[in-house]
Amino acid sequence: MNDAGASIFDRLRAVPVFQDMPGNALAALARESVLVEFLPGDRLLVQSEVGDFALVIVSGDVSVVNESAHGDSLLGQLSAPVMVGEVAALGRLPRTAGVVAVTPVSAMRLPREVLARVCQRRPEILQSVISQLGQHLLRVSNALGLFSTGLTALERDDFDPTILDDLNHPTPEVRDFAEAFERLAHRITIERRHRDEMASAALIQLAMLPTDLHALPLAGRAEVFADIKPARDVGGDLYDVFMLDDTHLAVAIGDVCGKGVPASLFMSATATTLRISARNWHSLPAMLTSANDLLCARNPTMMFATLFFGVLDLDSGRFEYANCGHNPPLAIDRDGAVRVFAHGGAPLGLAPGRAITSASIDLAAGDGLFLFTDGVTESVDETGELYGDARLQSTLARLAGLDAAGRVQEVIADVTRFAGAADQFDDITCLALVRR
Q: Per-residue pLDDT tens for 178-200?
A: 565 666 666 666 655 545 555 65
Give the pLDDT mean for 189-217.
68
pLDDT tens digit sequence for 35-56: 899 999 999 999 999 999 999 8
In a domain, 173, yes or no: yes
Give the pLDDT mean for 213-225.
92
**Pair (385, 275) in one structural domain:** yes
In a domain, 202, yes or no: no
SS3 content of the chain, % helix, strand, coil (to 5): 40, 25, 30
Domain boundary among 76, 94, 121: 121
Residue 125 above 60 pLDDT? yes
**Pair (285, 348) in one structural domain:** yes
- Please report the pLDDT score of residue 220 as a whole number: 92
* Highest mean predicted confidence (pLDDT) among 149-153, 210-214, 291-295, 368-372: 368-372
Q: Residue 286 is inside which H or E element, if any? A: helix 284-296
In a domain, 127, yes or no: no
**Pair (283, 422) in one structural domain:** yes
- Please report the pLDDT score of residue 173 as a whole number: 46
Residue 2's pLDDT band, with cuts at 50, 70 and 90, is very low
Per-residue b or e along 111-141, where b marks 16 or more CB atoms closer than 10 Å to that residue's CB = ebebbeebbeebeebbebbeeeeeeebebbb
The count of structural domains within the chain is 3
In a domain, 201, yes or no: no
Read off the CATH number of the domain in which 30 is found.
2.60.120.10
Determine if the pTM surpasses 0.75. Answer: no
Domain of 146 in residue numbering reads as 132-194
- Please report the pLDDT score of residue 11 as a whole number: 72
Residue 233 above 70 pLDDT? no
**Pair (97, 177) in one structural domain:** no
Per the CB < 8 A criterion, the answer to whether 92 and 52 are in contact is yes
Residue 170 above 60 pLDDT? no
**Pair (102, 177) in one structural domain:** no
- Please report the pLDDT score of residue 31 as a whole number: 79
In a domain, 254, yes or no: yes
| Whole-number percent of the chain with pLDDT over 70 | 79
**Pair (325, 393) in one structural domain:** yes
Q: How many other CB atoms are found less than 10 A from the CB of residue 155?
A: 15
- Please report the pLDDT score of residue 114 as a whole number: 86
What DSSP designation does 278 have?
Answer: G
In a domain, 206, yes or no: no
Selected residue with higher pLDDT from 136 and 340:
340
Separation of alpha carbons 15 and 29, rounded Å? 13
**Pair (404, 314) in one structural domain:** yes
Average pLDDT score over the chain: 83
Residue 161's pLDDT band, with cuts at 50, 70 and 90, is low
**Pair (34, 86) in one structural domain:** yes
Per-residue b or e along 19-38, where b marks 16 or more CB atoms closer than 10 Å to that residue's CB = eebeeeebbebbeebeeeeb
In a domain, 200, yes or no: no
**Pair (103, 161) in one structural domain:** no
- Please report the pLDDT score of residue 53 as a whole number: 93
Mean pLDDT lowest for which of 271-280, 370-379, 397-406? 271-280
Residue 417 above 60 pLDDT? yes
**Pair (95, 70) in one structural domain:** yes
